[in-house]
Chains A and B, each alone.
Chain A
């Protein structure tokens, strides 16, 4: 019998205050045991949240079963049709007014992952522990970061952001406890340093000054890299090179953003290293997320693409109007068209990220295969502010626990919390109830 010693899953390239975790390599799987549990890639779970609902006329599909013709907003995901599961009729009752009056944006974001009715207050906040944090609490000890929280716009935690609801409600997805949200990291440099570096205490200006003279972090781990490569086969060597190249490319993108920001718009409100271009920013953040998931730095993440109620413009695609005002279109076809374009643009960014996840191989599967990622919004129609039939899809196969390539329509009023219970099961975290659940959704893994 041939049995070689497997490389530990938690192997790092170390040097000068840097420790780079490695992606899943074939060498981490014991010989003749490729499909056994010890070498099986972990399942990652995450949420990509887009604000202000959708133009649901152009999101909804009017059929169930195998995915066929996609709607206009979903068109960018055409090449991923076999990797997505589109879900209908999921509802967040606790996003509704329920006697609390206006404030649907604050409520829908706060209840999205908590399943709870947030307290209407600009100061005395209270929602609930979010589903990602329940999972992170159970499995987070296995990775360097229990969870990662990413965003791209406005992480203010104080003030009134929606009709008496605190900005903490509109600007966070993850809640560690019912009173403690986990603000997302917006700045690519900050995220990079968190994932790979050790100089998080520096100011942005100090970062930039230091970066002008410093080399890539990869330079600090050259010796470790060389030693490791000598023990790897050709496939793993190529995989390692690609992985390190992707980190280097991220570094370059961040440096470029910092340089651009310093020269183009010194008054801009964005953090120092945030690219001005939405697509560039999205790509940078998701590239780092890919590396983090690939290297098993974390198995749980949330990505608040822009804050709920965002009035960001989209000049990148020729839309100078604010997103939120556009969604109150009063059925004006011209405004509705712009909303659809923004929704489609978001979906296109997401689709590009799925390309990345698909390109990362893990044994005989891909990183996307081993993920379960919800993409969706906390409002259905941004014009109507309704909280039923929320636009929702799942990307990935959750290991082999999800069978995508289909649309499932659930019964009306089916709590979103029922989906979350089913997802928690797939992460090995079992709970009887969550939020306003009435049970578990079924059919995620049906052929």
Chain B
């Protein structure tokens, strides 16, 4: 029987948006890849309960989709953004508020979005599970940048483990420190979820630790220069609002996206093993030939090569966008 012709790999992206700038940059990188038709963004969900975070994701998706066609708006087919609603914190975030509040000379929002209330978003586990059901076997990669809350919730659905095993090549995850280190924020934010994820995820996991993201910095100069093709850009606005310029940003979420899309080109991989989560939120890697977990290794000589990929792809002028 002839193999079906598969479309570009589908990416399920779940992130903590608005608290860290690297997740925002990772979203930009992902949209840049989608603009180049290297991937399809099949699901976007937010793990922090902040309605503005969901609205910002929609605005970025619409921005990168440009004016290709109305069908392409919002990640392909008006995909709803998943938003965690049971998370305790809803922090004010200047990197979200500023771009969303910008208006044109006519007084219209500069970046188009429709999310105004919780019911304009979706329950993350429904949106993620539904996205997986529509993918060819082994033609999907999940990227997690932040707490494991939403993915652990997906694992709780009946049949989800089988679905993930069938559809997903691997999970590329930006959280923890490897092979071991101090407790890391994304893990600490929901330790039970992180434990469940590492213990039960039925496909391979590649972890991008703080030790990698902290050594490859996204340069402020790129924001100043590379994004100048558009007079307005939601990523530029968010970056500037997040911190006084100029500042370079760590990039572990971007590394997770870059490895997900081009796994052979930029990073090395550890031996296989098992990652476990300790009571304090630290992670520990134990090598074992049968293990399904690995973590990214950084070759210092490749840093400039990685940064070039970040800046070139994230700042790509959206195909079809009219200015």
Contacts and interface: CB of A to CB of B under 8 A. Distances in A.
Contact of A433 (B122, B127, B129, B158): B158
B133 to A, nearest CB: 5
A93 B133 contact: yes
B123 A414 contact: yes
Contact of B119 (A93, A94, A117, A409): A409
A99 B136 contact: yes
Contact of B80 (A94, A97, A98, A413): A413
Contacts, number: 51
Contacts of B4: 99
A438 interface: yes
Contacts of A99: 4, 134-136
A243 interface: no
A412 B119 contact: yes
A411 interface: yes
Contact of B122 (A96, A117, A413, A436): A413
B126 A438 contact: yes
A242 B266 CA distance: 81
A98 B123 contact: no
Interface in B101-130: 118-123, 125-127, 129-130
Contacts of B309: none
B157 interface: yes
Interface residues of B, number: 20
Contacts of A88: 119
A145 interface: no
A414 B158 CA distance: 16
A73 to B, nearest CB: 22
Contacts of A415: 126
Nearest to B83: A411
A96 B120 CA distance: 20
Nearest to B135: A99
A412 B80 contact: yes
A147 interface: no
A220 interface: no
A196 interface: no
Interface of A: 88-89, 91, 93-94, 96-99, 117, 409-415, 433, 436, 438
Interface of B: 4, 80, 85, 118-123, 125-127, 129-130, 133-136, 157-158
25 contacts: A88-B119, A89-B119, A91-B130, A93-B130, A93-B133, A96-B130, A96-B134, A97-B134, A99-B135, A411-B85, A411-B122, A412-B80, A412-B119, A412-B120, A412-B122, A412-B127, A413-B122, A413-B123, A413-B127, A414-B122, A414-B126, A415-B126, A436-B129, A438-B123, A438-B125
